[in-house]
Structure 1
Amino acid sequence: MRYLTYVHDGGTRCGVAVDETVYALDAPALRDFLGWAPSERDAAVSRALRGPGVPLPEVRLLPPLEPPTIRDFVAFEEHVEGVRKSVDGVSGVPDRWYEAPTFYFTNPHSLVATGDDVPMAPGSAVLDFELEVAVVIGKAGRDLTPEQAHDHIFGYTLFNDWSARDLQSLEMKVGLGPCKGKDFASTLGPWIVPAADLDPYRDSDGFLGLALTAEVNGKVIGRDLLSNMAWPFEDLIAYASRGAELRPGDVLASGTCGNGGCLAELWGRTGTPDPPPLTPGDRITLTAEALGTLTNHIVPGAEPVPIPRARPRTRTRP
């Protein structure tokens, strides 16, 4: 079973897909559905499956939900090694990375769906993809232990936080982390797979051993296993919930996988921009075993609105 949001006959619905058939849920949106009690959700699914279905190829997929927040972690050591060298010119992994699963907040209003065009970020000429898996929270919680966090997971989905590497490299010199280099687009989807459906993929350490593949214009660029994460998702959730409430619909992404999960990692390892940055016309296909595939085409973006440099000030005081 997969949970999704879709357009059919001019209307937008949330629903469940079984095999190649989509059934509409009687919920305003999937985010509302996640806020219901588990028994209410189960009853809604039962009602949906008794109703008429629509062939999956006849619907247009949207991002599966509108999350209230998106936290994006950096949980793959191999990715940190390569991208740090590419973006900052520094080798190795910072000691601090090993101490806690660091994350940043990204823009929940810039989501695009699989099949959508992705415009170049204004002012950028160095576009990159990032292959990630994300967890969707299904129950509110605060100050959770990793053991408790497991019961707060509703399901899993694919995530691609597109990166304008030239903008990112410049703005991170200020020391606040990425902003416009990440702000313009993220792909989420194509649907959410319930957590229980992935239990057969767990290894003896509790990690999900899903195969991950990244392709550009039909050529495989990267392959990895989700189980190469340094922390399982339960640890990420527990850390995010320290002193902060997680709510149904919140999305927590793994961070980019290694071994070619993005172009910048490869650039850092080889010292050359090969494969080259993405440009209009490129097609990017990201796949995770048991979760599905995201495909997007790159198109030209808008010209940046000019912003003046900072004004020199006298710093006079009243």
Structure 2
Amino acid sequence: MKLRRVRTGSGIGVQTLDPDGDWVAYPDAAALGGQVFDDAWLAAAADRQLERSAHLLPVQPLSFRDFMLYEQHNIDAARGLIRRFHPGLYRVTSLYERVTGRPVPQFKPKPLFYRQPIYYMSNAQSFVPTGTPVAVPDYTQALDFELEIGFVLAAPLFNAAPEEAAQAIGAFVVLNDFSARDVQRAEMLSGFGPQKSKHFASSMSDTAVTADEILPRIDSLTGSVALNGTVVSTVSSAGMQFSLGEVLAHASRSEPLYPGELFGTGTLPGGSGMETGHWLRPGDTLTLTLDGVGRLEHAIG
């Protein structure tokens, strides 16, 4: 079931897409994540979002944990980082890979990636919906995007088993984690992880799809990245290091999780400019799509 949130004359309403392709009123907002906000808070959030876009977020997240579940993304992104910022070293690593037929070992994730799901906490309050223009932060010369699968809880979890955890997912969205790559590198080396390189903006499709439609095909979703109307890469959800149930079970170890909390899979392979060499510039129009889930579009600059 595809859902979206809309501003109505009396407050905030939820709509569903019917078989005829029309949006109609849907009474059960819990399907979007189970979190009940007071009307004044929701109205204020909606007003902020509608200042810049005709769309609303389908759910206002309580928190945002972003995982890294794709080894191939890490390898390709590390290669792209070297290509952009260290061209001399890139020539050396390219020669190594041509000779050996293997990725440079340093391009692979750190050992913890293979032992448990890894993630960082980002800014849940800086999410904007599709259609919102996004300014380039004044401290970066390397603005990037990240096409991800987002999923929101509809039930609480604590010390959950993977099967129980998967059943607590309420809905899926298209997620984009904007990134200032030149700033991110220094912040990661600090040992504290991403800060200003990530917290300035993330975005979400205005539609959400209930878990019953997505979970059975979570490993076979497809999508695309387009810049200025031209598709520059395609993506697939295949190849996660851990299942979503395992991801949430890990997050819930001795830590309560609540309805309305948002999680990201991390970038799908091919879903960032750092991997493909297509960096964002002022004047660009970015379009990110997950087939059957939703679409994001932003004017940059």
What aligned pairs does 1:1-318 form with structure 2 within 5 A after superposition?
1-7=1-7, 12-19=12-19, 20-25=21-26, 34-35=34-35, 60-87=54-81, 90-199=106-215, 201=217, 207-258=218-269, 260-266=270-276, 274-275=277-278, 277-299=279-301
C-alpha spacing 1:106/1:173, structure 2 compared with 1 (3 Å): same
CA deviations on 1:46-69 (whole Å, 9 max, x unpaired) are xxxxxxxxxxxxx93211111111
Once residues 177 and 160 of structure 1 are traced to their aligned partners in structure 2, the CA distance between those partners, rounded to angstroms, is: 18
Q: Which has the higher helix share?
A: 2
Q: What amino acid sits opposite 2:212 in the alignment?
A: A
Structure of greater Rg: 1
Instruction: Assess if the C-alpha contact under 8 Å between 1:8 and 1:60 holds in 2.
Output: no
Once residues 14 and 118 of structure 2 are traced to their aligned partners in structure 1, the CA distance between those partners, rounded to angstroms, is: 32
Once residues 208 and 261 of structure 2 are traced to their aligned partners in structure 1, the CA distance between those partners, rounded to angstroms, is: 13
Deviation at 1:142, TM superposition (A): 0.5
Q: What amino acid sits opposite 1:136 in the alignment?
A: V
Deviation at 1:200, TM superposition (A): 5.0
Gaps (5+ residues) in structure 1? 37-58, 202-206, 267-273, 300-318
- Give aligned-pair identity as a percent: 30
Once residues 164 and 200 of structure 1 are traced to their aligned partners in structure 2, the CA distance between those partners, rounded to angstroms, is: 34
Q: Secondary structure at the match of 2:282?
A: coil
Instruction: Assess if the C-alpha contact under 8 Å between 1:132 and 1:254 holds in 2.
Output: yes
TM-score in terms of structure 1 length:
0.76
Deviation at 1:31, TM superposition (A): 8.9
Q: Find the counterpart in structure 2 of residue 41 from structure 1.
A: none
Gaps (5+ residues) in structure 2? 37-52, 87-105
Once residues 173 and 154 of structure 1 are traced to their aligned partners in structure 2, the CA distance between those partners, rounded to angstroms, is: 35
Q: What amino acid sits opposite 2:194 in the alignment?
A: P
C-alpha spacing 1:123/1:35, structure 2 compared with 1 (3 Å): closer
Once residues 12 and 268 of structure 2 are traced to their aligned partners in structure 1, the CA distance between those partners, rounded to angstroms, is: 32
How many residues align? The count is 262
RMSD: 2.4
Once residues 161 and 134 of structure 2 are traced to their aligned partners in structure 1, the CA distance between those partners, rounded to angstroms, is: 38
Instruction: Assess if the C-alpha contact under 8 Å between 2:63 and 2:262 holds in 1.
Output: yes
TM-score in terms of structure 2 length:
0.80
C-alpha spacing 1:116/1:210, structure 2 compared with 1 (3 Å): same
